[in-house]
Amino acid sequence: VGNNSPIVKALMDARRNGKQVTAVVELKARFDEERNMGWAEEMEKIGVNVVYGFVGLKVHAKLCLVVRREEGGIKSYVHIGTGNYNPGSAKIYTDLGLLTCDPQITADVMGLFNVMTGYAVRDKYERLLVSPNTLRPGLERNIRAEIERHKSEGNGRIIVKCNQLVDQDMIKLLYEASQAGVKVDCLIRGICCLKPGIPGVSENITVRSILGKFLEHGRVYWFGPLEDPVKARCFIGSADMMGRNLDRRIEVVTPILNPVLRTRIAEDVLELQLADNARTWILDSDNHYTKLEPKSAKALVDSQRLTCKKYKEK
């Protein structure tokens, strides 16, 4: 959560105002162990119920649940993000978050908090993909569904945007999608063990990496035509396609159910970043990256700059 965290201060203010507050603090957070311990001790002093991680699994999910008594009864609100609740990284990372009151998603998050706090055992969720139980099979199911849709309708499309792509089973499945004719575009900021452009194996796969002013940190998994967000399925969350994320951590990936929000992700994130030619490096089948150069100054597309401009104007 970083230093001078407004999130932690808000939680402490809520507790001082008589609200029940629970915080799951991961002590194995890289670079933040000491800060997290300090904040946990401060919260405990004023009566916050602090849970120190989960035995055997690192908690990497980014979740916030608020339960309110309103005129119509009890209502829950959830935030699910791709990045930490850290004001420092929020200034230099690109991330995505979903704020929703969808009853199935909020019930899933409440159930997961009950698991992490030791009040329940649960391995099935209505909407969320949660590792180590349902995330891997959920992503596999969506990849296979897009392969089958392509066979019947054509125009198959998968877009993977994450930090690392190294899991062998996921790579094999993406190769299978490519061999079936599905177009697969990967936006991988860090390590990528998939080899694109191999004839008969991955000729329908491209791999890009955007290295700009901000560190690309969002995770998006898109299945279906990018030009038809109503038909497509879209997920965001905390997990990369790595064995540790899929099998050895508590991660959460949520579906984006609202087609208006899917359209925003398609246009403001995926289409824009796939068109970027200012900060993009292209991976070839020999594991070499080549910087993409615009054909002219007028053709320059800097996705990060354009995103900043758009939301600054708003």
State the Cα torsion 30-35-36-41 to the nearest 10°.
160
Burial class (CB in 10 A: 0-12, 13-18, 19+), 82: buried
Q: Give the relative orientation of helices 6-16 and 33-45 as an angle to the nearest 10 degrees.
A: 10
DSSP for residue 231 = T
Give the pairing of strands 73-81 and 97-100: antiparallel
Q: Strands, DSSP E only, in 165-314?
A: 183-188, 205-210, 215-216, 220-223, 233-237, 249-255, 280-283, 289-291
User: Is there a catalytic annotation at residue 60?
Assistant: yes
> Coil, helix or strand for 70?
strand
* DSSP secondary structure of 152-180: HH---EEEEEES-B--HHHHHHHHHHHHT
At CA 281, angle to CA 299 and CA 292, rounded to 5?
30
> Coil, helix or strand for 194?
coil
Among 60, 150, 217, 288, which one carries the catalytic annotation? 60
**Closest Cα partner for 268 from 141, 161, 157?**
161
Q: Which residues are catalytic?
A: 60
